Structure 1
């Protein structure tokens, strides 16, 4: 790997890290710089433009919605001014569910379509699309002595990879998308194919 390619991969990885730190800190002005103007976020609870996702995140923050992100390893594929970054991550959300305060931890990957473009401040990398991959999750009462009984019919509505996260988000009033990519299956394979097309110069083509 050339020194230039290594540095460009570091720039993409730094972008991914800044996203998590600035979003969870409520540093909305800097968080906005992680995106290009046509950027789009595909979360369980919000599928929207970057601007609308930021607005929804700010509104949730003001209501006390607690969602945190922890990042692990990051793999970056580069092709000219385009990149696909896959980053191991954990989403942690705390809320009251059926009268019991719980923590949900969901493990997966961020699958990011990223591009370097010319802008007012010069060339910079920005996210064009973020599609998480949801691999597994769990729900635990904050008080170990608390008794939690979930509605099995509601729980069964959601894919295994984010079943408990979706349950919590539904209970606090969000409409949750039910066909997000998981560890295996047609949806994640279609996402990988969209990533390869992106690196080859095509539009990402990832539909809601």
Structure 2
């Protein structure tokens, strides 16, 4: 029981460090939460941890701010493998149709983790996007959104996708949401991971 508690504490610490170090631009420390073969999935990026760090650093230096706030966490541990689900919000500020806006997206980080040589690390991070909203920074200004484009994105992250598309990102159109086939398939992959199967 003590070992399982220590594992959960170490994993929660890792999840919190991910958010703090990435948002602060502490890239060398941020690299330590990943295993060498780690994979990051996001609306705007899908690839290796090293690639994710490189593009995040580049965006950070250009003034792109994608910030994260964490809530409660549920962690399932099976030996040297774990699945962690952590409530989170993603916040991004940018011009939307010439109006400075904030988008806030609520969801969960769904993490595949493994303990190797005594150290827990991320093998795969797959966010689940549950709902989002857009707000102008100045409430007197209202962006005129392209309704057809907005509704072409999944409900759970359509405003985030609209903003990211507008600033030049290619957004993945089939990320898991609160319900549906994509999130059920993700849960099934999580169960297989805990039973010894592959993460991807």
Q: Aligned residue pairs: how many?
A: 200
Q: Are residue 160 (structure 1) and residue 155 (structure 2) matched?
A: yes
| Distance apart, 1:204 and its partner CA | 1.4
Rounded Cα–Cα distance in structure 1 between residues aligned with 2:148 and 2:174: 17
Rounded Cα–Cα distance in structure 2 between residues aligned with 1:78 and 1:68: 28
Rounded Cα–Cα distance in structure 1 between residues aligned with 2:65 and 2:96: 13
CA shift digits 1:67-98 (9 cap, x unpaired): 10000001100000000000000000000111
> RMSD between aligned alpha carbons?
0.6
Q: Runs (4+) of structure 1 moved beyond 4 Å?
A: none
| Distance apart, 1:147 and its partner CA | 2.0
Rounded Cα–Cα distance in structure 2 between residues aligned with 1:40 and 1:8: 21
CA shift digits 1:149-190 (9 cap, x unpaired): 100111011000000000000000000000000000000000
Structure 1 alignment gaps of length 5 or more: none
TM-score, structure 1 as length reference? 0.95
TM-score, structure 2 as length reference? 0.99
Rounded Cα–Cα distance in structure 1 between residues aligned with 2:123 and 2:184: 19
Rounded Cα–Cα distance in structure 1 between residues aligned with 2:192 and 2:182: 15
Alignment of 1:37-48 (within 5 A): 37-48=36-47
